Amino acid sequence: MLRYIKELYINNNKSNASKKLVVLKIARTRWGDFKSRLLREFVHKKHQTYNSPTELYDFLSAEQWAKFVASRQSEEFKERSQKARELQALNEHPHFLGSSGYAKRRQEWMKEDPLSSQSSCASVSSSLLSDDRSFDWIRARTKKKQMMEVTLFQMKKHRKCFIKL
């Protein structure tokens, strides 16, 4: 897989080092996701359709699959996995950004933010809040259903902007 990526992207485009880094980063992420899916669907749970991933993926041999399963059932891997679960359990404020990150979500939030569609005072307060990193931090860690409550709280906090004279 890595040889294919190198031949396709890196060797054909030697002048652009930043593209090389982006491609390798994406490949590393996808490879990790693939291994996690194999572990989740074939080792921990039984896949609905296939008994082994070798039936589903032509590039995966029975020998490679046996090595993968053995590595995931080793004591060292189980200890690392348990340690990671314990660390994740300590995370009091998990984010719900997904793979899009803050940059893309800020655009969505500006469209969804009821204050940004209001006139004068409300839009000013909305633009101030949109530049506030703490407000983005709250939005990133709030589920969509809870976001409406946060927005209503924000509207009450800035109610003077909504009073029509």
| pLDDT greater at residue 161 or residue 79 | 79
For the stretch 12-22, pLDDT in tens is 555 567 777 88
Please count the CA atoms within 13 angstroms of the CA of 85 that sit on its side-chain side.
6
Q: What is the pLDDT of residues 84-133, one digit of tens each?
A: 999 999 988 888 887 778 888 888 877 876 554 444 444 445 555 556 67
Supply the pLDDT for residue 54: 92
| Range with top average pLDDT, 41-50, 79-88, 109-118 | 79-88
Exposed e or buried b per residue across 72-109, where buried means at least 16 C-beta atoms within 10 angstroms of its C-beta: beeeeeeeeeeeeeeeeeeeeeeeeeeeeeeeebeeeb
Average of pLDDT values for 19-34?
86
Checking if the pLDDT of 67 tops 90, the result is: yes
- Mean pLDDT, to the nearest integer, of 3-31? 73
Is there a contact between 26 and 37 (Cβ–Cβ < 8 Å)? no
